[in-house]
Amino acid sequence: MDRRPLTLIPVLILAVGTEAYTGTVADPVDERDDYARFAQTALGNATRGRRVFADTANAGCLRCHRVGGDGDDIGPDLSDVGGKLGREHLIESVLEPSRQIVEGYRSVVVATRDGRLWTGLIKGETGETITLVDAEARAHVLSKVEVEDRKESDVSIMPEGLASKLSREQFADLIAYLEGLRSAGQPTPGSEVAGPLSLPKGFTSFRVAAGLSAATALAIAPDGRVFVGEQTGALRVVKDDKLRSEPFVTLAVDRTWERGLIGVALDPGFARNGFVYLTYVASDPFPHHRVSRFTARGDVAETGSEFILLKGDDQRTLGGPVKAGHQGGALHFGADGKLYIAIGDQTAGHPAQRLDTFQGKLLRINPDGTIPADNPFFEKAAGKYRAIWALGLRNPYTFAVQPGTGRVFINDVGEARWEEINEGSAGANYGWPAVEGPSDDPRYCAPILAYKAASVTGGAFCPDKPAAAIPVHYRGKYFFMDFVKGWIKTLDPDHPESAETFAEGLLRPVDMAFGADGALYVLLRDAWVVDRHFRPGTGSLLRIGPTPAGGATLNTPHRLDSSRDGARHGGPR
C-alpha cells in the first residue's frame, strides 16, 4: 500500500442532496454567475423555496441543517440565517460553500490503512475512536489504530454544484426562503431588509471582498487600495479586489458594544508619506477615544510607527445608560488640510453641550495633533478641548467633505423621531439634547434634511468629474445611506430639502466612498454592535458603478446586476 503522507485533494460530498459526488463537480463559472445574477434581481417565492429546501429530490437541506425543530445538526443551524446574512452572502454560501466555511464545520479528510479516504465532520472523539459524519448524515466510527493520517480541509463538506440540480427560478426561490429565516421581532437592527438589490438602470454592483468582521469605516487610496476598519481591532486592506489575509495593523481595542476601531482616513499626501489615521477606543488605562497616525510600508504599518495625536475622555465618568454606545469615530481631512473627528455623546445627552468633554462634538486638529488657533472655541475652552469645532450632536456616525468647496455634511443618528443631515460650520450648535429634527429655535442650527427615524450612516459626495462615466444627474450630489432601511439616497447640496432613492436592498450598510475609478464603494457589516447576535466574517465590500459599455460584464460570480429602477423601500441608535 502507498504509505506517502496524505495530500488533501478536493473530495466533495454533496451535503444538500441525495447523491455523493467525488472529484470535480461540473459547475461552470458562467452558469454560477448566471444563477447569482438571477437570484440577486429576482424576488423569488419563499413558499416554493421551502419545498426546494426540504425536498431531497431538490436541495434537501434538512438532511444536514436544522430550522426550528426540523432537520439535523451536521451543518450550521439556519433558523436565523436570514437575519444574519444578506442576500448576496446567502447566494455565495450556496454556490461557493468552500469560500468561507463557518468555524466548527470544517471537513476533515482521514486516510485509513486500508487505503480509503473518509471525508466529513468530526462529531465525536475518544482515546480509541473518531466518529466522522458524512454528507449523507451517516456516522462512521473509525478506530484510531487504523488511521494513517488526517488533515483539516479547506473544502466544505457541502460542495459546489447545487445550481446544476435546480432551475434558476428554483434557486431564487431557495434564496428567498433562506432570506426569510429569522427570529420573530428581528434579532438585530437592519435584519428586516430582504429582497433583491435594486439599482438605477445601467448600474452594476460587484462584490469586491467578503469575510469582513464588524466593518465600521473605509478609506480609498489613490492607487485603488481600500482600507477597511473592523470594530474588533484590525485594519484590513483590499488590494486588486482581494482581501489580504494579513491586516495592515491590529490594535488592542475595547470592542464592547459600539467601541473598537471606528474610523480611518488617509493623508492627502498618502502616496508620498504613507500616513494612515485611525480612531479607536483604547481600554488602557480606561475606555477612551484615541486618534493615532501610522506609517504604511507597503500593505502593512511600519512597526512602532503609531503616533498618538489625541486622547479622549474617560468614558467611565460621563454617564449615559449605555456607556459603550454612541461612539461616532469618523475622521476626514477638510479642504483646509485639517483633520476633523466626530465623537458621539455616549448616550449621555447633556455632555454634548459642554466645552469640557469631546462627547457629542466635531473636532478639528492639525495633522500633527496640535490644535489650530483659529478653532471657534479656542479662547473659551481649555487644553485639548480647544479642538472642539462644533457641538450639540448625538451620534455623528459619519460625515463627508465635498471636494472643491470643502462643505461638510454630518450624518447624525437620531433618538426616536428623526435622522439628521447637518451642514458643518465653525462654532455651530446642533441642539442635542434640547432639540432633534426640524427646529426654528434660533439658538441652534437646524438640519438641512431630516427624515423619520431609522439610522443614517455613511455619506459621500459624488465628484463633479468622476473617472467613471457616472451620469451627469448624479455628479456633485450627496449620497447617504440608512443602516436599518438598507437604502442609499441622493440629494442636491444646493437644494437639500428632498432626496431621491439610488439603491435599495442593502443589508446593514455602514460607510461608503467614491474611489479614484469613479465607482461608489459600499461597506456592509454584521450585527450592528458586538453582542450575542454578532457573527464574524459576514461583512462585505461592494463596488457600484455604471454597467461597462457594450453590456460587458465583470468576470466574477459575485457581480450583483440590476437593470430595473427602484422597486421598494425598504442601527446604530
pLDDT tens digits, 508-518: 999 999 998 89
Contact between 478 and 409 (Cβ < 8 Å): yes
**Region 165-187 average pLDDT:** 78
**Per-residue pLDDT tens for 334-343?**
999 999 999 9
Q: Comparing 228-242, 445-459, 519-533, which segment has the lowest mean pLDDT?
A: 519-533
Q: Does some domain include residue 196?
A: no
Sheet holding 509-514, edge to edge: 509-514, 520-524, 539-546, 203-212, 559-561
User: Which cell is 236 given?
Assistant: 484590513
What domain range is 466 assigned to? 203-561
**Region 68-73 average pLDDT:** 76
Same domain assignment for residues 120 and 215: no
Total of domains in the chain? 2
User: Which cell is 85 given?
Assistant: 446574512
Cα 50 to Cα 313: distance, rounded to the nearest angstrom: 52
**Per-residue pLDDT tens for 373-388?**
999 999 999 999 999 9
Same domain assignment for residues 152 and 278: no
pLDDT above 60: residue 538: yes
Q: Does some domain include residue 495?
A: yes
Q: Is the peptide bond before 433 cis (omega within 30 degrees of 0)?
A: yes
User: Which cell is 418 given?
Assistant: 428623526
Same domain assignment for residues 459 and 333: yes
The larger pLDDT score, comparing residue 465 to residue 389, is at 389
pLDDT above 60: residue 15: no
Same domain assignment for residues 115 and 208: no
Q: Does some domain include residue 572?
A: no
pLDDT, residue 426, reads 98
pLDDT, residue 102, reads 60
Same domain assignment for residues 345 and 487: yes
Q: How many residues does the chain have?
A: 573
Same domain assignment for residues 330 and 420: yes
Q: Comparing 10-19, 361-370, 468-477, which segment has the lowest mean pLDDT?
A: 10-19
Helices (H) and strands (E) in the chain, counts: 6, 34
User: Which cell is 358 given?
Assistant: 469631546
Contact between 238 and 193 (Cβ < 8 Å): no
Confidence of residue 568 (pLDDT cuts 50, 70, 90): very low
Q: Does some domain include residue 570?
A: no
Q: Is the peptide bond before 509 cis (omega within 30 degrees of 0)?
A: no
Locus of grid cell 469645532:
389
Within 157-264, residue ranges assigned H as helices are 168-179
Give me the CATH number covering residue 130.
2.30.30.100
Give me the CATH number covering residue 307.
2.120.10.30
Which one, of 156, 38, 31, lies nearest residue 100 by Cα? 156
Last residue of a domain, one of 115, 147, 179: 179
Same domain assignment for residues 152 and 271: no
Cα 571 to Cα 457: distance, rounded to the nearest angstrom: 8
Same domain assignment for residues 133 and 268: no
Same domain assignment for residues 152 and 208: no
Best-predicted range by mean pLDDT (202-206, 337-341, 453-457, 467-471): 337-341
Same domain assignment for residues 207 and 172: no
